[in-house]
Structure 1
Amino acid sequence: MKIKNLNKVLSRSFLAVSNVGRGLLIGFSGLLLNYILLQYNAIEVLNTYVYFISVFGLFYILTNWGGKFFNIKEISKNPKHTKQLISSLISSKIILVLFCGLIILFIPLEIKTKVLMMVFLFLKSLTPIFDALIIYRKKSKIVFIAELIFNTIFLSLIFSYSSTFKPFSFLIYLIILESLKSVFYLTLLWKEISFNLSILKSQNILKKSFYFFGLSITGFLASKVDLYIIGILINKETMSYYFIISSLTSVSMVIYASVINTFETSIYRFNPSLFNKLENLLQYFGILFSIIATLGFYLVTNYFYKIPIDYKFSLLFFSNILLFTLLNFELYRYTKLEKQKVILIILIISVVINCVVSFLIIKKLLLIGAFLANTLGVLFNYIFLRLYYKKILCHEI
């Protein structure tokens, strides 16, 4: 019996490590890519990459309709109907990508770049579906190994030819990397996937996940509107530097979320007592995690990227990450209570706050001004959710 329990603990531990490893890999691969392009005479490629990803991000919030959050929730609720759900999700992604493709045609980009963006958009749109299945079927270990191999080869090629790369060639390599990942996911999860495509099914899934889509789009804007405003008010070079800072923040958030995601399907089934115990535990963990993340942020920005960050910016970064850890749990709480509409309304308020503050202070304070606006948005988001819970929902969980 003891051996059986030990094996179960070890299995869960390896699963958690694999999930965190995937989060780390995604984040650090992006940071290392930024570093290679910044330090090895590829600033033109970096600026093109930042612009490409920024434009892509605007369309991705549409094609990521519902997102991984919705996918995991639906799979955990109806595991016997996973194939039907997956076919509906894929159908909806195809419709959304085609719609976005029509808009992309009118963007002032070279036609070959537009084609690459549409391909990249489709591949990335499938990722949340794969991720939900990977988490639910506990396939993180083998996926982590495969992704590590793919990313290592990609970064090695970029490093070897960084000084001779042209922007379009770089984008081609980026598409190839994403294609290889998608083929691997399909091969691994083939038995779970159905291509019984249907317009009617896609319409139903889009309606059902509408509030999750609202959360995705407002969440993206709440976290990225400061980046776009820097691009509007300042210049592309400053935007590239802030993109690196924003990426470091995202890495910290991805790592934290990866730890929690390991048990995500179970969280929605917790009784009120277990749910409250988890909340207390994660508050302490959030503080510890934020301290470690802030130390890493300070060292990486100052000594790796050579971006001068002082103690004021570091304290602001700590506040941002800590608030995110608290907010992350509130999102689980409200999702468990089926209160996505409330989250959506509060997120919209946060977007407005971030946007207004950004326009007011970015020209004067530059990078720290943008990050302050972002942090204030997260702060108000958390305060509003807590107040609503205390006043209205406290009897429900």
Structure 2
Amino acid sequence: MKSKQVIAMFNVAFRQMVSTAFNVLLPFVVIHFAEKQIWGEFVSILLFILMASACNNFGHKEYLLRQFSAEPGKIRRYFTQNLYSRVPILLLSVACTLLLFPVPQAFFISLSLIGLFVSQSFEALIVFEKRFRLSAIIEMVTGVILLSAIYVCRESITALLIVKLYAGFLLLKALVYVYLFFSFFEKKQTRLSFYILKKSFPFFLLTLAGFLASKNDVYLVHFFLSKPKLAEYQILNNLCLFAMGTAGFFYIPFTKNIYRNSEVVIVKLQRILIIMGFLITISAVAVIFLVVTFYLKTTVPDYFYAIVFGYIFPSFVYGIKIIMLSKQHKEILVTTYLITGIVINVVLSALFLNLGLDITGALLGSAVAQWVVLGLFLKPMQEHWGT
């Protein structure tokens, strides 16, 4: 592997670790200074913010990456048009916020949605331009500011206070990204384009399905269990997703190569992903064991950790296949596979939670769904590799 490729992988890993580490650290800090109940109350609000944000994004990152690769000379045009075209969706989510939450919460939740909308709009540019190190610094600095603010307010932490600080953190990050990437805005492209939304729609379904596949068990825990249990499960879910997200370290820097039919790169990446996935999953299980035992101090059956392994590992096998099928304009096929997994996850997790299996049941339903999705991808994968 060339030195430039190694550096690119390192930069992706650094950025991903910084942004995900913040999501992992935040609940630990809040629970340390407050209690699980307060974090659980905030998670109820956060689940709405994340769902609304997934809708506001409307698959723009995946759509733009494909367009940037196909027509690199029109990056500014595609970026600006896509951004303006998604504004009505943002306004709709803000209107829903005002209807669903009390005014003080709704105001700051709306600010959070705006901040997320703006900052996440630059994801495609960051990936395509390989500005991972710069993005990591932004994530790290703004994350430290938020954690510092929580420390300063540690004597009076409430769910509403966390929402206020979270909104400020997202808006600050959005402003920094706008300042740094302002040159990519094209003033002439200020009209809404329903054509772009139409073309982005398959990617929207794909990303929404991916989001639900990773979070629907948390929504079910929110429905079935108490706020402290929700707080515990959200922490464990974040740790699992952090491990699963490391798969991107190995293929995100090569998105251009994948879209441009570099078969040699793809075959090498697939092998690396499986080997590294096994090692990373084992490490993640060990970390989760320590968190459950010494921090959460909750009781889980011994087989819980086998379930954790089963939940994390499959994503390393089928992750790159999602990009391959997207390149072939088969987003609907990928979405169908993911939705199948979501349905299985919801049915099994709800059943296990209803039977009193607690957070173990929720994770078991998710793990079974992951292996079903892996099975669905294997046949196309074998056909692609000619095995």
TM-score normalized with structure 2 length: 0.92
- Displacement after TM superposition at 1:92 (Å): 2.4
Q: Read off the aligned partner of 2:322 and give its amino acid letter.
A: L
CA distance in 2, matches of 1:209, 1:116: 29
- Displacement after TM superposition at 1:244 (Å): 1.0
Q: What is the DSSP-based 3-state SS (H/G/I as helix, E as strand, rest coil) of the residue aligned with 1:163?
A: helix
Q: What is the DSSP-based 3-state SS (H/G/I as helix, E as strand, rest coil) of the residue aligned with 1:338?
A: coil
Contact 1:45/1:170 (<8 A) preserved: no
Q: What is the DSSP-based 3-state SS (H/G/I as helix, E as strand, rest coil) of the residue aligned with 1:270?
A: coil
Aligned to 1:62: 55
Aligned to 1:115: 107
Q: What is the DSSP-based 3-state SS (H/G/I as helix, E as strand, rest coil) of the residue aligned with 2:313?
A: helix
Aligned to 2:294: 303
CA distance in 1, matches of 2:251, 2:64: 16
Which one of 294, 319, 343 corresponds to residue 328 of structure 1?
319
Aligned length: 386
Q: Which runs of 5+ in 1 are unaligned?
A: none
Identify the range of structure 1 (212-221 vs 134-143) with the bigger mean alpha-carbon deviation: 134-143
Identity %: 22
Q: What is the DSSP-based 3-state SS (H/G/I as helix, E as strand, rest coil) of the residue aligned with 2:303?
A: helix
Is 1:387 paired with 2:379? yes
Contact 1:35/1:305 (<8 A) preserved: no
Aligned to 2:144: 152
Identify the range of structure 1 (267-276 vs 232-241) with the bigger mean alpha-carbon deviation: 267-276
- Displacement after TM superposition at 1:327 (Å): 2.0
Contact 2:209/2:338 (<8 A) preserved: yes
Q: Read off the aligned partner of 2:55 and give its amino acid letter.
A: L
Identify the range of structure 1 (361-370 vs 63-72) with the bigger mean alpha-carbon deviation: 63-72
Aligned to 1:94: 87
Contact 1:44/1:167 (<8 A) preserved: no
Aligned to 2:280: 289
CA distance in 1, matches of 2:8, 2:336: 35
Structural mapping, 1:1-397, within 5 Å: 9=3, 11-107=4-100, 109-201=101-193, 203-309=194-300, 311-363=302-354, 364-390=356-382, 394=384
- Displacement after TM superposition at 1:237 (Å): 2.1
CA distance in 2, matches of 1:83, 1:274: 28
Change in Cα spacing, 1:43 to 1:288, as seen in structure 2 (3 Å) is closer
Q: Which runs of 5+ in 2 are unaligned?
A: none
- Displacement after TM superposition at 1:346 (Å): 1.6
Residue deviations 1:21-46 (CA, integer Å, cap 9, x gap): 22112222222211121122244531
- Displacement after TM superposition at 1:236 (Å): 2.2
- Displacement after TM superposition at 1:273 (Å): 4.1
Contact 1:334/1:340 (<8 A) preserved: yes
CA distance in 1, matches of 2:167, 2:228: 24
- Displacement after TM superposition at 1:268 (Å): 1.8
Q: Read off the aligned partner of 1:178 and give its amino acid letter.
A: L
CA distance in 2, matches of 1:147, 1:389: 35
Change in Cα spacing, 1:105 to 1:224, as seen in structure 2 (3 Å) is same
Change in Cα spacing, 1:338 to 1:238, as seen in structure 2 (3 Å) is same
**TM-align CA RMSD:** 2.3
CA distance in 2, matches of 1:137, 1:235: 44
Q: What is the DSSP-based 3-state SS (H/G/I as helix, E as strand, rest coil) of the residue aligned with 2:121?
A: helix
Contact 2:244/2:313 (<8 A) preserved: no
Contact 2:65/2:128 (<8 A) preserved: yes
CA distance in 2, matches of 1:210, 1:337: 16
- Displacement after TM superposition at 1:163 (Å): 2.7
CA distance in 1, matches of 2:158, 2:218: 25
Change in Cα spacing, 1:396 to 1:60, as seen in structure 2 (3 Å) is farther
